[in-house]
Amino acid sequence: MSLPGQPCEDPSAASEDPDSARSRPARRTRANGDRSRERILDAATEVATERGYDGTTISSVSKASGLPPTSIYWHFTDKDDLIAAVIDRSYQRWLGALSLPEGADAARWAGQIGTQVAKALQEAPDFLRLGLKLALDRRPVERRAKRKFLQSRASTFDQFARLIRQIAPELDDDKVDLLTTYLIAGADGLFIAGEIDDDPQRFVELFELHATVVLQSAIDVVTSRPRY
């Protein structure tokens, strides 16, 4: 019991496990480290979007983030590692914003699938914006950032191939691969067109149309009425 005029002790603090008390500084350190990492990634995204991979330097990211280069090197091995992390974070955000229907009924929602993909790209465009530029790079030594993008692309391919198989399970693997390749290639083109035209509403409408055409084609192939 506290004497009059003395502050009351927090019961939870009084009964706190000593190990828990000792772990608090470590948790704060991790939280601060996570915030610094996100700050660096935000700055790297901004710089790389403006200057491209080659124009991005640790010095420019340091200036944009307000953190010293040593902080950047604490989290990332080098610039390539940093850009790979930028691509991965953006891709994970895109996946988080994407909600695809399951099963054969997905065909009924083709337009909505296109809308989902487009709006998710509007929320997290950086993995595709940076990745497409890196994918066109033909340097002898492949960068980690490029490999990260190609891994993300392969994962996306598998995801949409499964969707097409659900819609048209009778399709053979070659037809599924063909339609999935066309779906993703068309999306690449629409993304580039969207970067040029800067019309958010038309961007979504074009993705709706593209998804509807491709997914309906999957059904037409099964019913022997191919549209391509």
pLDDT tens digits, one per residue of 81-92: 999 999 999 999
pLDDT at 184 over 50: yes
Would 228 be classed as within a structural domain? no
* Banded model confidence at residue 142, pLDDT cuts 50, 70, 90: confident
Which one is predicted more confidently, 32 or 120? 120
**pLDDT tens, 69-124?**
999 999 999 999 999 999 999 999 999 988 776 655 666 778 888 999 999 999 99
Q: What is the pLDDT of residue 98?
A: 83
Q: What is the pLDDT of residue 2?
A: 44
* Number of domains comprising the chain: 2
Q: What is the pLDDT of residue 109?
A: 77
Would 170 be classed as within a structural domain? yes
**pLDDT tens, 197-220?**
999 999 999 999 999 998 888 777
Q: Which of 13, 46, 76 is the last residue in one of the domains? A: 76
Same domain? For 122 and 67 the reply is: no
**pTM of the shown model:** 0.79
Would 178 be classed as within a structural domain? yes
Same domain? For 153 and 185 the reply is: yes
SS3 track for the chain: CCCCCCCCCCHHHHCCCHHHHHHHHHHHHHHHHHHHHHHHHHHHHHHHHHHHHHHCCHHHHHHHHCCCHHHHHHHCCCHHHHHHHHHHHHHHHHHHHCCCCCCHHHHHHHHHHHHHHHHHHHHCCHHHHHHHHHHCCCCCCCCHHHHHHHHHHHHHHHHHHHHHHHHCCCCCHHHHHHHHHHHHHHHHHHHHHHHHHCCHHHHHHHHHHHHHHHHHHHHHHHCCCCCC
Same domain? For 37 and 133 the reply is: no
Domain of residue 35 covers 30-76
Please state, for a pLDDT cut of 90, what percent of the chain lies above it. 64
Would 47 be classed as within a structural domain? yes
Choose the weakest-confidence range: 44-48, 69-73, 90-94, 167-171: 167-171
